[in-house]
Structure 1
């Protein structure tokens, strides 16, 4: 009977040493932002409906939205939406085989960050 050799594959279990390339970071943040938006969607719908219910409910909504912790949460949700939208366009283009080369994929990932962060700040300034 032939000897079986057991291959010892390198295993990196230290998650702090893993270095993802920029497209990998965009992919993970796209998934995280999608999950966050999905989980917060019922709350956002309820808040939207409550703000349209009556002038009193809108005034109370506006008072709550003026608090700093709520502003931080709303800014995070706004960033999640903008990033998810921009990264989604990138992934649609990748599905159409546009920019699938290594350097083009890196550049498109950088464009997602370069567009989503300033666009979030601009929208936050407009909506504030």
Structure 2
């Protein structure tokens, strides 16, 4: 029987010291935002159902929406939805060949996504408050 060879490889488990490229950050955020949008859909549908159930239900929905914490959650959901939608459009443009699949285009389009999302986030903040 052969000997087992121990491989001496460096192990870095401190994720805060790893520097991810902007495209990796965007990719991770795109996946996380998809999960959050899916989960937030239940909250939004519940609120819609409550507001359409009756005049009293609508009044309860208005009272719920007047809470600062709920406004923050709604603003966050809308911002995440904007990021996910814009990121999805970027992916479709790449899939259909309208954007090159190069690192330079990936970096540039990622910064554009973040910029557009920032503008939408400000707009949604004004809209909610």
TM over 0.5: yes
Displacement after TM superposition at 1:4 (Å): 7.5
Displacement after TM superposition at 1:54 (Å): 1.8
Give the Cα–Cα distance (whole angstroms) in 2 for the partners of residues 5 and 92 of structure 1. 47
Deviation track 1:76-97 (CA, whole Å, cap 9, x = no partner) reads 1111100000111112223234
Give the Cα–Cα distance (whole angstroms) in 1 for the partners of residues 2 and 23 of structure 2. 44
| Structure 2, unpaired ranges of 5+ | none
Q: Which residue does the alignment assign to 1:27? A: 27
Deviation track 1:43-75 (CA, whole Å, cap 9, x = no partner) reads 211111111122221111111111111111111
1:70 partnered with 2:70: yes
| Structure 1, unpaired ranges of 5+ | none
What TM-score do the two structures reach when normalised by structure 2?
A: 0.86
Q: Which residue does the alignment assign to 1:116? A: 117
Deviation track 1:16-56 (CA, whole Å, cap 9, x = no partner) reads 11111111111111111111111222221111111112222
Deviation track 1:94-119 (CA, whole Å, cap 9, x = no partner) reads 32342311111100000000001111
What TM-score do the two structures reach when normalised by structure 1?
A: 0.87
Displacement after TM superposition at 1:8 (Å): 2.9
Indicate the SS of the match to 1:38. helix
Length, aligned pairs only: 128
Give the Cα–Cα distance (whole angstroms) in 1 for the partners of residues 32 and 12 of structure 2. 23
Root-mean-square deviation (CA), in Å? 2.1
